Each structure stands twice: as structure tokens, then as C-alpha cells.
Amino acid sequence: MEDTVRPSRADRVATLPPRERILDAAEELFYSEGIRGVGVQAVADKAGTTKAALYRHFGTKDALVAQWLSIVAADYAAAFDKIEQRWPDDPRAQILGVAAFIADGLSAISHRGCPFINSIAELPDRSHPARQVIEAHKARQFRRIAAMCSAAGLTDPEGAAAEVTFALEGAQVSAQNGSVDRVGERLVAIVEAVVARRGS
């Protein structure tokens, strides 16, 4: 049987429709260089298209940023869905699954940072469409964790969810700035301690 060669990223991107190529380029550039540091022309060039095509599909750079972050948020929501599906009748395992999911992604964050944390630092205007995407995503995520805490019978589910959220967010920042070693391991241990203390 002949070996199959996986197409290069450039070859895969070239087969995408223009809108998807623009989003793919925007993800790479915004994530690695920041929102403010990347112009529309750079995104168009990376996507192998034109500024006119970018504006035709997205209208404005702000709308493109918001769409990129909406996709990232949807990926996180899908990960939460998988966690709930894996342990459908065990909300405590779901909470620990969320911690493990974040812990497993910390190595990537240590190189480029969390896209939400990075982006919100560049978007001080709370009316910015991308900022609204981030805030809505974070609010939904908190509600999901609170629902897990409630289903797990933890005391003060919202307080428990706040503790878990502080741990998740803090771990991502610490991984990015390198201030704490064994961040993933410590994150999981902290969340386990929250569940044990509030579940007793």
C-alpha cells in the first residue's frame, strides 16, 4: 500500500473558499501578532485574496475579528459539550474534565497566550463587537460551570463556579507569563480541592 502524504497547510488553505481562507489567515495573524498589529492588507495577502474581497465578506476589520472570536468561542463550547457527553451523569467528573481540558491546552497558551485574554487587552471599548463576543462567551461558560456545580450538589454553586473560573483563568495567565511551574497539574489539584471542600 502506498504511503499517503498529508497536504501542506498552504495546499489545504488554497482549496478553501475565499471567506474561509480569510478566516484562516485572520486566526493565524491575530493570534500570533495581535489584533491591532495586523492590518486588513496583511490578512488579505496571507489569504491570497484582496482587501475588496475581505470587505465584501466581512464589511469591516472589527466584524472579522468578532467572527474569528465567535469561532474560537464555538470551539470551547464544543469541548464543553464533549465533556458533558463523556460524563452525562457525573457532574463532578464534568467539572474536573473542564479543568483537565484547560490544563491540556496550557502548553499552546504558553507560546501564544489565550486568544480571549490577549484580545480583550486590545479592546478597551466594551461596545466593540469582538469585545461583546468575548464577554458573552465568558458569561455562558460561567453559567455552564455553575450548572455543573449545582448538579454536583456543591454548596453555593455560583461561589464554587467563581472559584473554578478564577483557577482556570489564572492558570492561563500564569502559563502565558511563566510565573508558576507545573501549572496544569496545580490547576487540576486546585479544582479538585474546590469540589471536595464544597461537596462535603
Residue 4 has a pLDDT of: 47
DSSP characters for 118-146? HHHHH---TTSHHHHHHHHHHHHHHHHHH
Mean pLDDT of the chain: 89
* pLDDT tens string 73-99: 999 999 999 999 999 999 999 999 999
The model carries a pTM of 0.86
Closest to 100 in 3D by CA, of 123, 73, 82: 82
* pLDDT tens string 131-186: 999 999 999 999 999 999 999 999 999 999 999 999 999 999 888 888 888 999 99
Q: Specify the CATH number for 7-59; select among 1.10.3720.10, 1.10.10.60, 3.40.50.970, 1.10.510.10.
A: 1.10.10.60
Q: Specify the CATH number for 61-199; select among 1.10.357.10, 1.10.340.70, 3.40.50.1820, 3.40.50.170.
A: 1.10.357.10
Q: Residue 23: CA atoms inside 13 Å, Cβ hemisphere, count?
A: 15
Asked if residue 31 has pLDDT above 80, the reply is yes
